[in-house]
Structure 1
Amino acid sequence: MLIGILQAGHAPAGLVPGDAGYSRLFQDLLAGHDFTFRTWNVVDMEFPDGPGDADGWLITGSRHGAYEDLPFIAPLEDLIRAIRENGRPLVGVCFGHQIIAQALGGMVEKYAGGWAVGRSDYNWQGSPLALNAWHQDQVTRLPDGATRLATSTFCENAALAYGDTIFTVQAHPEFDRDQLAALIETRGAAVEPDRLDRARALLDEPVDNDRLAAMIGRFFREGVAA
């Protein structure tokens, strides 16, 4: 199964070994699930011809906001709607989670409560789950047809499903300890100091990236987002 990775931003230096970009993190996360991958750098206006260019799609994180007036935003929203209409499975992570919601009629805004950074606890359909987060923007209004899968005290709409073809999550299952540490050093200046201190203190605590990888793998293969 070919997964098309739509890379919506460039990773800061030192975040990914060899500066391979966010796409490499997702390929590593989904290793062992019998997928092949192709990457389009949509942030640089490199787009596929259409939904049929891959069997499933994944939109990465980005330092950009879904609501920003940038050249790649509108065509990416058009592609999201085309993928949905086509019925190919689509996964969104962080920015991907937000831009999908926006493209389908939801709203994304900066959260007045500041940043979520580091290990965060979620209620995932009644079960606890921990993932690394790095965001201030949030989905604040759900599109029609979206179902909430996970929430937290800091992020109400932490994971969403749209029928059996779209699955999105606000946190970063592709970020391990090293990526979080690199983000703290390279992009931590905008974050409240006490939250950076908390993130540093929790760097070595376990997170449930493997559980999310299994969910994403199952979703691509079977259309089950749970």
Structure 2
Amino acid sequence: MKIGILQTGHAPDEVKDELGDYARMFATLLEGHGFEFETFNVVDNEFPASVDAADGWLITGSKHGVYEPHDWIPPLEDFIRKVRDAGQPMVGVCFGHQIIAQALGGKVEKFEGGWAAGAQEYDFDGEQMVLNAWHQDQVVEAPEGAEVIASNDFCAYAGLVYGDTILTVQPHPEFTARMIEGLLQHRAPGVLPETMINDLKTRVDQRLNDRDFGDRMAAFFKGKSDE
């Protein structure tokens, strides 16, 4: 099965040599499931010729906001609706979660409650999962027909499903402890409160359910989300 990765941002240059860009992080997360991948840098206006260019689609995170006036955002929203109409499986993570919600009628905004960063615990339909997060923006109104499958006290719409073909999550299952360390060093200063940065540095090695969620993503792509 071929997964098209729609890359909506780039990892910090300081960690790219070691960890790769976002597409590589997802390929690592989904390793062993028999997928092949092709990356389209939509953030650089590189789009697939059609939705048939892959069997399923994955939209990455980004430092950009979905409500910002970038010229690549409207065509990405159009592409999302075409994938939905074609009934192909699609997964969105962080920015991907948000842009899918916005494209399908939901609302995203800069959350007045501040940032979620590092390991966070989420309730996935009664199952507790710990995944890394890195966001201030979040979905504040879910699109009509979307079902909430994950939440916590900070993020009410942390996971959504749309029928049996679209799965989106606010946290980053592809972010390892090393990636969080890199973000704390290169993107957090001046953005996150210093007290939060210092706290996060003490718990970057917290045990995560990243592999578990990677398995869930793989099953969803393969149409086994109910097994």
If the length of structure 1 is used for normalisation, what is the TM-score?
A: 0.97
CA contact (8 A) 1:92 1:168 kept: yes
| Paired position in structure 2 for 1:27 | 27
Q: Which amino acid aligns with 1:216?
A: M
Q: Which amino acid aligns with 2:177?
A: R
| Paired position in structure 1 for 2:71 | 71
The alpha-carbon deviation at position 223 of structure 1 amounts to 5.2
1:73-110 alpha-carbon deviations (Å, 9 max, x no partner): 00000000000000110000000000000000000000
The alpha-carbon deviation at position 19 of structure 1 amounts to 6.7
The alpha-carbon deviation at position 129 of structure 1 amounts to 0.7
| Paired position in structure 2 for 1:129 | 129
The alpha-carbon deviation at position 225 of structure 1 amounts to 6.8
Q: Which amino acid aligns with 2:11?
A: A
Identity %: 49
| Paired position in structure 2 for 1:209 | 210
Alpha-carbon distance in structure 2 between the residues aligned to 1:15 and 1:120: 22
Across the two proteins, how many residue pairs are aligned to each other? 226
| Paired position in structure 2 for 1:198 | 199
Alpha-carbon distance in structure 2 between the residues aligned to 1:109 and 1:164: 26
Q: Which amino acid aligns with 1:116?
A: A
| Paired position in structure 2 for 1:224 | 225
1:142 has 2:142 as partner: yes
The alpha-carbon deviation at position 178 of structure 1 amounts to 0.3
1:24-58 alpha-carbon deviations (Å, 9 max, x no partner): 00000000010000000000000001111000000
Matches within 5 A, 1:30-109: 30-109=30-109
CA contact (8 A) 1:16 1:24 kept: no
Q: Which amino acid aligns with 1:181?
A: E
5+ residue gaps, structure 2, are none
Structure 1: 4+ residue segments shifted above 2 A: 14-20
1:166-211 alpha-carbon deviations (Å, 9 max, x no partner): 0001000000110000000111020112221221111111111011
CA contact (8 A) 1:16 1:179 kept: no
Q: Which amino acid aligns with 1:157?
A: Y
Alpha-carbon distance in structure 1 between the residues aligned to 2:153 and 2:110: 16
CA contact (8 A) 1:115 1:192 kept: no
CA RMSD of aligned residues (A): 1.2
Alpha-carbon distance in structure 2 between the residues aligned to 1:7 and 1:166: 17
What SS does the corresponding residue of 2:131 show, helix, strand or coil? Answer: strand
